[in-house]
Amino acid sequence: MSSHPEVSRALFDQVMVPNYAPSDVIPVSGKGARVWDQQGRDFIDFAGGIAVNCLGHSHPALVEALKTQGEKLWHVSNIWTNEPALRLAQKLVDATFAEKVFFANSGAEANEAALKLARRYAIDTYHQDKVDIIAFNQGFHGRTFFTVTAGGQKAYSDGFGPKPGAIHHVDYNDLDALAATINDNTCAVMIEPLQGEGGVIPPSHEFIKGVRELCDKHNALLIFDEVQTGVGRTGELFAYMGLGVEPDILTSAKALGGGFPIAAMLTSTAIAEHFKVGTHGSTYGGNPLACAVAEAAFDIVNTASVLDGVKQKSQIFQQKLEQLNQEFGIFKDIRGAGLLVGAELIDEMQGKARDILVASSDAGLMVLVAGANVLRFAPSLVITDEEIETGFERLSQAIAKVVNS
């Protein structure tokens, strides 16, 4: 075999584990909310790497941060600390409820840390039996065995043998079910402040407020998984800021590095001190290269102009989807927050979300799904009005193709 095989979609099937089924399109470059493939075809990106590329592709400030830090220091172990990690941690603390930060590489790792910390805190502070975790059906918290078990989708956690115990699930937005399940042995409730993978489902005001009150009543920690909703996605720096509810632990990843892998767990000093030296760790967590890029992304996102812009662009997205619905009549519900938007298909179109995703790709548009019946949009937070316009023209073509087939 040649030492330089042709890089094609066929090579994926040859050399990669088959747990993904990627598109035939292989992107090779991007600028803003546009991406080009191997053949030079251009795509509008309404997917954002699943809510990751918060400043689009090849943002000059992120490129500059990467180059500058890349010529200084790439990695040191956590036997030493480093300047980019400390600067980023300070900014996260200054901008949120938190007093302490733990860095990791992915949302799953941040959530794993949050769950471990919650249990350690409860056992240290109360008693050995205070270990129960409550999460929500259709929730998603990552793919480690602990986090995928906390996630409320059995399709992702079944078939791997015995699961971590003492994890219970109730329906999202069902406060009565939570009240019936939570008790003094509950150490934590883990929740997305807007369910992403589960269908882009926002919480009702009464529900999210009630979750906080029940946690307080039973001395359980409230963990907000803001892996998808954090870093400007909802038009707030973090979604909790728009809900009037403060968590005890918050996790962030995806958009935090603007495309560079990094995650963070944020909490208070009182809770953090239960992660004593040696109780938890991460080889790459707090990596200077990742933290330098994340700091540059954070400085841009955490501005009134970007956050207000997300709210304005959100309205444009909702209006454009309503217009498409007037034309095609295929959406049952259009919902979400900021630039995390879901459009649920009508009963007659059940299971067709992926067909629209494929047709969109053919038309030069990248979109997402959330389950079989919801189109999901998570574009760059600084996507231009022109890019939105072009994207919706292509989405219209894609929907027409699916409806008329």
Domains 9-59+304-404 and 73-301 share a fold: no
In this predicted model, what pLDDT tens digit does every residue of 96-121 receive, in sequence order?
999 999 999 999 999 999 999 999 99
Amino acid at 146: F
- pTM > 0.95: yes
In this predicted model, what pLDDT tens digit does every residue of 201-257 receive, in sequence order?
999 999 999 999 999 999 999 999 999 999 999 999 999 999 999 999 999 999 999
Is 254 an active-site residue?
A: yes
Give the CATH number of domain 73-301; options: 3.40.50.300, 3.40.640.10, 3.90.980.10, 3.40.50.2000: 3.40.640.10
Confidence of residue 405 (pLDDT cuts 50, 70, 90): confident
Confidence of residue 3 (pLDDT cuts 50, 70, 90): very low
Binding residues for pyridoxal 5'-phosphate: 107-108, 140, 225-228, 283
In this predicted model, what pLDDT tens digit does every residue of 312-322 receive, in sequence order?
999 999 999 99
In this predicted model, what pLDDT tens digit does every residue of 136-174 receive, in sequence order?
999 999 999 999 999 999 999 999 999 999 999 999 999
Is 401 an active-site residue?
A: no
CA distances from 86 to 70, 73, 89, 252 (A): 17, 14, 5, 17
The overall average pLDDT reported for the chain is 96
Q: 5 pLDDT exceeds 90?
A: no
Q: 128 pLDDT exceeds 70?
A: yes
CA distances from 403 to 226, 257, 334, 345 (A): 35, 38, 18, 12
Binding residues for N(2)-acetyl-L-ornithine: 143, 282
Q: 1 pLDDT exceeds 50?
A: no
Give the CATH number of domain 9-59+304-404; options: 3.40.50.720, 3.40.50.1970, 3.90.1150.10, 1.10.10.410: 3.90.1150.10
Catalytic member of 130, 254, 320, 352: 254
* The pLDDT value given to residue 392: 98
Total residues found in the chain within this entry: 405
Tokens found for residue 394: 């292509």
Nearest in space to 309 (alpha carbons), one of 259, 235, 379, 239: 235
Is 362 an active-site residue?
A: no
Binding residues: 107-108, 140, 143, 225-228, 282-283
- Ordered strands of the 167-170 beta sheet: 100-104, 263-267, 249-252, 221-225, 186-191, 132-136, 167-170
| Residue ranges of domains in the chain | 9-59+304-404, 73-301
